[in-house]
Structure 1
């Protein structure tokens, strides 16, 4: 059984950096029970009102950012798709009553490939990409992840890629030494207790219960937070959560890795 994972994709610079976080990403394959047959991956940078499931023979690499070093724009991550898993994903969502469509034209954005480049640098594990819908409730997002749980028994690794804290208004671009604002730490610790207790009820009310939620997840943009919920829902059958890594950049941009379910 594969666990499901939430992985912060941070700034695109992670793709060309070597630090404690990228080293943790490099190490992730060693924590899995075996090599995945495919990776099913929600990216915060693909928003859609209807759930979309992406499949292509080979995904093009989308460089959806500006103002970064040229080396980032030269990176290609030519992952193959897996049509069988993509179609099974659609079928599972339809059975759960989730409106869904198959997308056969969209490439992998940096929410996908920055993470994947560190975890499987040779692009040799097939990928099925998924959109996110921040307009759904936490319960609805959780239910989408739960619907996909059977794929874990088929050696499919389900990943949510986003950031538990993501607010450009509170970034200190001078802070690059892993220092963190106190409010960032308080939010992450509340989240740690809530997830490890598997308290979906409190998670659904994080905006009123979590300290500094208005800073961590701005009301105008929760798209980076919701991949966490999809990944958590995918392990509803086990309800085990473990934070594997936490570090920070720019004072508040959190680099967290969460494992849901056991690797076995």
Structure 2
């Protein structure tokens, strides 16, 4: 079985940097049992009220950010789609009662390609892109991931791309040494305890149970947090969670990698 992964995509600058986090991303394929047949990937930067499943012959690269070095806008990640896996993904969601549609026009945003480029720089693993819906309840997001669990037995790698802490109001742009605010550490450690215990009930109530939750996951935008729930749900049949990496940028922007299920 393939595990599922939650990966923080951080700042777009990661795409052109060499640091402890990019090195951890580079090494991720070595931790998998085999090369994936395809990658099914939820990105925080694709929000939709109904679940969308994206496939194309070759995905265009979306540079959905502004004010960064020109080098970033020149990056292309021409991943191929996988129509068969995309259609199976749609069928699994429909069987679980999830409203879903196939999208054949949207490219890969930086939540997809910043991560994928670190793992598979040659863009030679087919991709199926998935939207997120932050308006759903955590239990519903988890259930969508759970519906896709059978794909893991077919060597499909399921990834949720977002960030467990993502709040521009609490970024210290001068903090580039890797230091973290105490509240950030406390939130991440609560998550560590909750996920490793596979305590889905408490995770669903993170807004009230987790320390500093409204700082970590702003009430006006949980889209970066919810890919964690999709990825965890995808390993519901193998409830083992392991944090593979944690580091910080700007005091609170967390770079975490979580593995769900056994590799």
Shared fold by TM > 0.5?
yes
Distance in 2 of aligned mates of 1:176 and 1:169:
17
Residue of structure 1 equivalent to 2:133? 133
| 3-state SS of paired residue (2:180) | coil
* Offset of residue 214 of structure 1: 0.7
**Distance of 1:28 and 1:58 partners within structure 2:** 24
- Alignment-derived partner of residue 251 in structure 1: 251
How many residue pairs align between the two structures?
263
Alpha-carbon distance, 1:237 to partner: 0.2
- For 1:225-253, what per-residue CA distance to the aligned partner results, in whole angstroms no more than 9, with x for missing partners? 00000000000001000000000000000
Residues 15-65 of structure 1: per-residue CA shift (max 9 Å, x gap): 000000000000000000000000000000000000000000000000000
Match of 1:233 in 2: 233
Residue aligning to 1:77: 77
Distance apart, 1:190 and its partner CA: 0.1
- Are positions 1:146 and 2:146 aligned together? yes
Partner SS, residue 140 of structure 1: helix
Structural mapping, 1:6-85, within 5 Å: 6-85=6-85
Matched, 1:98 2:91: no
* Matching residue of 1:113: 113
Q: Secondary structure at the match of 1:59?
A: coil
In the alignment, the residues of structure 2 paired with residue 203 and residue 32 of structure 1 have an alpha-carbon distance, to the nearest angstrom, of 26
SS across alignment from 2:130:
strand
Shift of 1:152: 0.2
For 1:238 and 1:35, locate their aligned partners in 2 and report how far apart those are by CA, in whole Å: 20
Q: What secondary structure, in the 3-state scheme, does the structure 2 residue paired with 1:105 have?
A: coil
**Cross-structure match for 1:221:** 221
Q: Scaled by the length of structure 2, what TM-score is found?
A: 1.00
Alpha-carbon distance, 1:254 to partner? 0.0
2-side partners of 1:255 and 1:119: how far apart? Answer: 15
Output the CA distance in 2 between the equivalents of 1:195 and 1:251: 23
Q: Secondary structure at the match of 1:223?
A: coil
Gaps of 5+ in 1: none
Q: Match for residue 183 of structure 2? A: 183
CA distance in 2, matches of 1:112, 1:174: 27
Query: Could you report, residue by residue, the CA deviation over 1:75-106 in whole angstroms, capped at 9, with x for unpaired residues?
Result: 00000000000000000000000000000000
Residue 208 of structure 1: how far off its partner (Å)? 0.4
Runs of at least 5 residues in structure 2 that lack an aligned partner in the other structure: none
Distance in 2, Cα, partners of 1:237 & 1:254 = 28
Cα deviation, residue 169, structure 1: 0.1
CA–CA distance in structure 1, aligned partners of residues 218 and 29 of structure 2:
32
State how far apart, in whole Å, the 2-side matches of 1:128 and 1:214 are: 31
Q: CA deviation at 1:110?
A: 0.2
In the TM superposition, structure 1's runs of 4+ consecutive aligned residues that sit over 6 Å from their partners are none
SS in 1 for 2:258: strand
Q: Deviations over 1:186-234 (max 9, x none)?
A: 0000000000000000001000000000100000000000000000000
- In structure 2, how many angstroms separate the alpha carbons of the residues matched to 1:242 and 1:35? 20
